[in-house]
Amino acid sequence: MKILIAGAGGFIGGHLVAQLISAGHTVRAVDGKALDQWYQVNESSENSSADLQLLDECARASDGVDQVFNLAADMGGMGFIENNKAACMLSSLINTHLLVAARENGVERFFFSSSACVYAAGKQTDPDITGLAEADAYPAEPEDGYGWEKLFGERMGRHFMEDFGLEFRTARYHNVYGPYGTWDGGREKAPAAICRKVINAKLTGNHEIEVWGDGLQSRSFMYIDDCVEGTLRLMESDVREPLNVGSEELVTINQLVDLAADIAGIEVTRRHLLDAPQGVRGRNSDNVLIRELLGWEPSISLRSGLQQTYDWIYGEMTSDTA
């Protein structure tokens, strides 16, 4: 097939392009960033930069393709989304215009990357949370800004499927991490940020690191290989409802710090920043539905995935160009 990856210069998009190329598909890779700012550039794909907030650009990008994967969004970790709500919500222009263009260009199937941030805040107040099932997105109380944009995107895609027959698939990602992504600069997520801080402690000998919040807030984290596998399985399936794609391995942020420090072979002292952005108290994926509908769920352990992430970031921080 010929496949458009919108947001191909991003973390997940870059990995997805590589996987689809290796599977023999023709890939058109498009991102709003200039090529020299992409995390990965695959020479076997058709690569270009375009402002996908514009309908004309979406029409050109989706012309002649069989499938669209929309991973394009202005987003980052909790520090970014809490302080850039308007920028996050402007991503709704991308999904809206890509859907319109996909319908007009006869695209067969459309994938939308949603997020666990769509889940109601009132159901995420306990660090010992058992898991968020897909039905927990309603009554709606998502993360302000970013979460509302994702929930709106889900609903729009559903109605395009109902009204225009465009097959639409939605994955609610839970904290995706791994190599070839952001690890510094303000948009990085917790695993990469903590790896960076622990590596810096190891390299400098100053073993005190900053931790946002009290460290008792809990999350599950999904390694990028599981994310790509789940994305492709869902896209190829008949599942028309939003589906969690995330790990059920729940840890506190303090435990995540301990794991990174153990990988580094050092002990660290935490300095908790209680006024820093920290999000909900507890968030975990409930995988009952994905096991039932796809016969699969993410399985790469946090220890294994974090080791690979740590090793890559360590290489970036110690290279001559770091």
Active-site residue numbers?
146
Q: What is the rounded distance in angstroms from the CA atom of residue 92 to the CA atom of residue 223?
A: 26
Structural contact between residues 306 and 259, judged by C-beta atoms closer than 8 angstroms: yes
* Helix, strand, coil % over all residues of the chain, rounded to 5: 45, 20, 40
- Tell me the β-bridge partners of 169: 111
Structural contact between residues 220 and 283, judged by C-beta atoms closer than 8 angstroms: yes
Contacts of residue 103, defined as CB under 8 A and 6 or more positions apart, other chains included, come to 160, 164, 166
How far are the Cα atoms of 78, 130, 145 from residue 126, in angstroms, in the given order? 18, 9, 22
- Tell me the β-bridge partners of 276: none
The owner of tokens 């669209």 is 68
Residue among 12, 237, 218, 4 at smallest CA distance from 105: 4
Structural contact between residues 231 and 111, judged by C-beta atoms closer than 8 angstroms: yes
| Residue 62, token pair as written in the block | 């989706």
Please report how the helices 253-264 and 190-204 are oriented relative to each other, as an axis angle in degrees rounded to 10. Answer: 40
Q: How many CA atoms lie within 13 A of 247 on its CB side?
A: 22
Structural contact between residues 79 and 277, judged by C-beta atoms closer than 8 angstroms: yes
Coil, helix or strand at residue 102: helix
Structural contact between residues 44 and 86, judged by C-beta atoms closer than 8 angstroms: no
